[in-house]
Chain A
Amino acid sequence: MEEIEVKITPKSLGVFCVILLFCFSALAQQDKTTHITFAQKASSVRVSYVDRNAGSKTIYSNLASKNPNGLYFALEGATEQGPWWGAPAWNAVPFTPTFNANATSVELPLGYIFSLNSTDVIVSLNADSGGLPGNPLQSWTVTINTGIVSGSCCSVYTVTGSVPLAAGQQYWVVVSTEATSDMYVEWNLNTTDEIDNVTNAYYDGTGWYNYLTTNGVAVGVYGTKTR
């Protein structure tokens, strides 16, 4: 992409100030139902998705595995940030297995944006509690690859474990942070369904809240069928 010189003019200064106000406003509000967007950068990683779930059953997935070069949308995601930013911004996506299963892996895309000291996020599979994320059934500390910057496609983070799941019960995949984290990443949006409303949840430090969206975050849950 060509380099274009930026000149400071009264107009660009005005735009800068608007964005600045916008930024401060956003910091103050810390509205976690938000999405963040980024222009593609030359430094973004561009790799085809490699499906390593052969032999596993898909318990839930909105990853576009038929398009290994378009597994999720690289340029937009839900804000994931640690409390250092003023308040945490965590997100969660629900799923309901149609069969009894043992979840053995979870895949999800995260694009690195910024951190000072923190190096990871926490991914967990949670029980449901009244339509919101409940107790974690298993948690994983996921080290963020700072080379997989926001705007990259199509690599995913994979965690493996063993979590028994009951058919017809709702569960949640949650991405959160440690209590003092300054990690800031985006959880990319899915590219399989922009039409149907889905319920996602966010946590802002005061509690979990549901929100409806047609652009939910991307995730895949895989495992084995059990009796």
Chain B
Amino acid sequence: MKLFVRVFVCLAVIAFSLNALAAEKANITTAKDGIRISTCPVKSVAQDAKTPAVESAPESLAALYNNLAFDYRKAIYWCCYGGLLAGPNSTYGLEHGTAVWQATGFTPGTNTTVTSVKLGVAYQSGTFTDVIVTINADNGGIPGAVLSTFTVKKMPVFGSCCEVKTSSVKGGVAVTAGTPYWIVIGMEPTSDFQGSWNFDISDQVDAIPNAYLYDGVWYPFDANVNFSFGVYGQ
């Protein structure tokens, strides 16, 4: 009887899990051990080699938004979970017939010019080792027109912490106080890159806008654990 109850509970938990998986489609979480979600105890895997933080926030620039936890240089973002980034020819892309991009929003408090962006982004597999990052205008709650484009290469391996990728924004992007903008991470049309936009750990309370691109369609979602990034200007 006791075993039956346990099994029943486990099934209930699995049902919750499936529900969560469905809800989770909103941010398509990926984990370094390939386990997306489980509400039953799961076997742990050996930790990947961790790397110390090698970059810090530009001291001379003001953060328009930042959730990188620079106060804790050994835990700037969460090493092991994040939003899936998948080119169309990646393992995930081929299996599901779609690329997966991720985006997160920020709203500047003052009129300024964005001059650099920092990302907690990681490589998992593929011959392509770069992602394309854009700063976009807002289009009714999802990413709109591209305002600036740059490439991020040589990302740390997924599961490691805490290397941050910093990119300068050529020419800068003028932004207006109170207007929403987006940081988008995408891939080239033939990319087989697969990786992760790691979750932030400095603010798991406040929700900010996020969106993911699946089958060429943007799906917005709010979350209190967001993608790790910082936007800086002057």
Contact = CB atoms under 8 A, between A and B. Distances in A.
B52 A191 contact: no
A34 B41 CA distance: 6
Given A1-B23, A2-B26, A215 B80 contact: yes
Interface in B1-37: 2, 5-7, 9-11, 13-14, 17-26, 29, 31, 35, 37
Contact of B225 (A32, A74, A113): A74
Interface in A66-116: 66-67, 69-70, 73-76, 79, 81, 84-86, 89, 113-114, 116
B42 A69 contact: no
Interface stretch (B86-94, B141-149, B203-211): B203-211
B25 to A, nearest CB: 5
Nearest to A85: B6
Given A1-B223, A16-B14, A70-B69, A36 B200 contact: no
B39 A38 contact: yes
Contacts of A214: 47, 50, 79
A14 B40 CA distance: 18
A29 interface: yes
B162 A195 contact: yes
Contacts of A76: 80-81
Contact of A86 (B6, B22, B71, B72): B6
A215 B24 CA distance: 23
A39 B20 contact: yes
Q: Which has the most chain A C-beta neighbours within 10 Å: B29, B47, B223?
A: B47
B75 interface: yes
Contacts of A116: 5, 9
B23 A114 contact: no
B51 interface: yes
B65 to A, nearest CB: 14
Contact of A48 (B9, B24, B205, B225): B205
A213 interface: yes
5 contacts: A4-B26, A64-B75, A70-B205, A191-B202, A192-B74
Interface of B: 2, 5-7, 9-11, 13-14, 17-26, 29, 31, 35, 37-44, 47, 50-52, 69, 71-72, 74-75, 78-81, 161-162, 199-207, 219, 221-225
Given A69-B204, A116-B9, 19 more contacts: A23-B13, A34-B41, A34-B44, A35-B42, A39-B20, A39-B21, A48-B205, A64-B75, A66-B72, A67-B201, A67-B203, A70-B201, A70-B204, A74-B204, A79-B41, A153-B224, A213-B44, A213-B47, A215-B79
